[in-house]
Structure 1
Amino acid sequence: MSLLADPASLVALVLSLAVAGALIGFLAGLFGIGGGAISVPVFYELFLLLGHAPQVAMPTAVGTSLAVIIPTSISSARGHYKRGTVDVGLLRQWAVPVILGVVIGAVVATFAEPAVFQLAFVVVASINAAKLLLGGAGWRLRDSLPGRIALKGFGMVVGFVSTLMGIGGGAISTMFMTLHNVPIHRAVSTSAGVGVLIALPATLGYMAAGWGKPDLLPDAIGYVSLGTFLLTIPTSLLTTRAGVTLAHALSRRRLETAFGLFLALVSLRFLFALGG
């Protein structure tokens, strides 16, 4: 806790969270994602600097990241909805299975090794990144979305994996939709709504999972740090609208390229974490 006793370090901490929040909000608006690929490693390193053990720092980083995703995803989804590009019907079909996947993921997260799910994400994301960057129109699973049963099954997978990885699910759902020939702007916009479906129940799950555990952060409710949440949210909400505006200003090809680059970077980040 000596970090908090040093004013210069405290200022650096607050500025770091403000910058992280700004990036999270911008990416939420631009790609319809929660920003967990940024917030989880930032929060994890912060909690280690504050002297907390990795076994507390990691689940708290994931839980706090999911909490931050709630308001940013709501803001992003509203912005895209006003532009008429959110597939509300698909979100309705996904609502129950996504939440069910979140519940299962929160239970499994108490004993599962997340490296397996990170590796699976890297494989799928790398393939889709190559598709988007190379502009391969033939790189599709189908020319349209699958039937209702398959859709519900995939919704459960999105909720399950996202909860384990501390992400809002937007990267996974956008990949799924673009591989089924959904236009990139519609996929990004709808994925913002997916973040809302995932983040709220997942956050409650991490609060419950950490309830009463020893050596938690002083400001934490279970595995969610309220102080970190409050310091990150202001800038994230300020930049979400800018991300939405840019997403709709970009052409289809440029947005595909930008999202492909993002997936490649996230994959590299997870590979680095797996290697460490």
Structure 2
Amino acid sequence: MSALLIFILTGAGAGILAGLFGVGGGLIMVPALALVLAAQGVAPQIYMQVAIGTSLAVIGATSISSARAHHRRGGVDWRVFARFAPGLAVGAVVGAFVADALSGDTLRRCVGVGALLVAARMLLSRKAVTADAGSIRAGAAELVASGGVIGVLSAVVGIGGGSLTVPYLSGRGLPVHRAVGTAAAAGMPIAWAGALGFIVSGWEVSGVPAPHLGYVSLSAFVSIAVASVACAPIGARLAHALSPLLLKRTFAGLLVIVGVKMLLG
């Protein structure tokens, strides 16, 4: 029962974050899942892979709800998404197999370092953030290549890519609210392809809590996904009510907290 409560609360928090920041909530889900799985006696060699694979599966559901909420407010640039998505999907599959080959401690440190690097970039940026209309300064080839890199890194740490996609798109000229909305949609190809990669790479692995598909824990997936999908529209409403600068600084603060916690174990 305590594990179920943690999963539900984690899902609610992840859903709000998905709508608020355009992230899939993996920065919250992965540490929470890792904590519960370790307490349940899942082997240290695989508990991070299970946490990451399950997180991506949940993000696959959450990102749909979040993207729809942002789309209704005109916050998704579908032209950018169409060029971005192929690279994201291919990169996510590659990232899943990379994660399968790494140790649990290495994956945990990857999550922590990645969160801190993104937070530093956002906090140290002196560029003004506005909500005015703008156009992205990136061609199709750059978007595909950047999507591939973001897809790999996102799958390795179990996130929907928003922590990378939002600063990248806003840095290339997309207004922050549209960057957040487009990042929410970009979570779909990352999560679906990444989860599939973790299912395939973990298919023959023993020790994953039943029921499961590869590295994806189905009991955790269902309880977290239901709460996440229900709460994602709340975050989207908050995102469009906040100032762009406050949105950026709050997001960076969240990443600092998560990064430090993951590095400290």
* Kept in 2: contact 1:144–1:180 (CA 8 A): yes
Q: Counterpart of 1:259?
A: 251
| One-letter code aligned to 1:231 | S
Q: What is the CA-CA distance between 1:232 and the residue it aligns to? A: 1.3
CA distance in structure 2 between the partners assigned to 1:100 and 1:183 by the alignment: 26
Q: Counterpart of 2:30?
A: 40
Q: Counterpart of 2:143?
A: 151
What is the correspondence of 1:64-79 to structure 2 with a 5 Å cutoff? Answer: 64-79=54-69
- Alignment CA distance shift 1:120-1:13 (3 Å): closer
- Superposed CA RMSD in Å reads 2.0
Bigger Cα Rg: 1
Q: Counterpart of 2:79?
A: 89
Q: Find the residue that maps to 2:80 and give its secondary structure.
A: helix
Q: Counterpart of 2:196?
A: 204
Moved more, 109-118 or 24-33: 109-118
Q: What is the CA-CA distance between 1:262 and the residue it aligns to? A: 2.3
* Kept in 1: contact 2:54–2:195 (CA 8 A): yes
Asked whether 1:167 is paired with 2:167, we answer no
CA distance in structure 1 between the partners assigned to 2:156 and 2:168 by the alignment: 18
CA distance in structure 1 between the partners assigned to 2:235 and 2:172 by the alignment: 24
Q: What is the CA-CA distance between 1:159 and the residue it aligns to? A: 0.5
- Alignment CA distance shift 1:215-1:252 (3 Å): closer
- Alignment CA distance shift 1:122-1:254 (3 Å): closer
CA distance in structure 2 between the partners assigned to 1:246 and 1:126 by the alignment: 21
CA distance in structure 1 between the partners assigned to 2:91 and 2:152 by the alignment: 4
* Kept in 2: contact 1:85–1:185 (CA 8 A): yes
- Alignment CA distance shift 1:120-1:42 (3 Å): closer
Q: What is the CA-CA distance between 1:138 and the residue it aligns to? A: 6.4
Unaligned runs of 5+ in 2: 130-134
Q: What is the CA-CA distance between 1:168 and the residue it aligns to? A: 0.7
Q: Counterpart of 2:119?
A: 126
Tell me the TM-score normalized by structure 1: 0.86
* Kept in 1: contact 2:113–2:263 (CA 8 A): no
* Kept in 2: contact 1:30–1:243 (CA 8 A): yes
CA displacement 1:197-245 (0-9 Å, x = unmatched): 1101111111111112122212111100101111112221221111000
CA displacement 1:94-132 (0-9 Å, x = unmatched): 121111111211222222443674466245313323136
Q: What is the CA-CA distance between 1:44 and the residue it aligns to? A: 1.1
| One-letter code aligned to 2:54 | T
CA distance in structure 1 between the partners assigned to 2:12 and 2:216 by the alignment: 20
- Alignment CA distance shift 1:71-1:144 (3 Å): closer
CA distance in structure 1 between the partners assigned to 2:77 and 2:55 by the alignment: 25
Q: Find the residue that maps to 1:54 and give its secondary structure.
A: coil
Q: 1:60 aligns with which of 50, 75, 95?
A: 50
Tell me the TM-score normalized by structure 2: 0.90
Aligned residue pairs total: 257
Moved more, 189-198 or 120-129: 120-129
CA displacement 1:46-87 (0-9 Å, x = unmatched): 111111111121111111111110111100000001111101
Q: Counterpart of 1:101?
A: 91
CA distance in structure 1 between the partners assigned to 2:113 and 2:40 by the alignment: 31
Q: Find the residue that maps to 1:212 and give its secondary structure.
A: coil
CA distance in structure 2 between the partners assigned to 1:234 and 1:115 by the alignment: 26
CA distance in structure 1 between the partners assigned to 2:206 and 2:244 by the alignment: 49
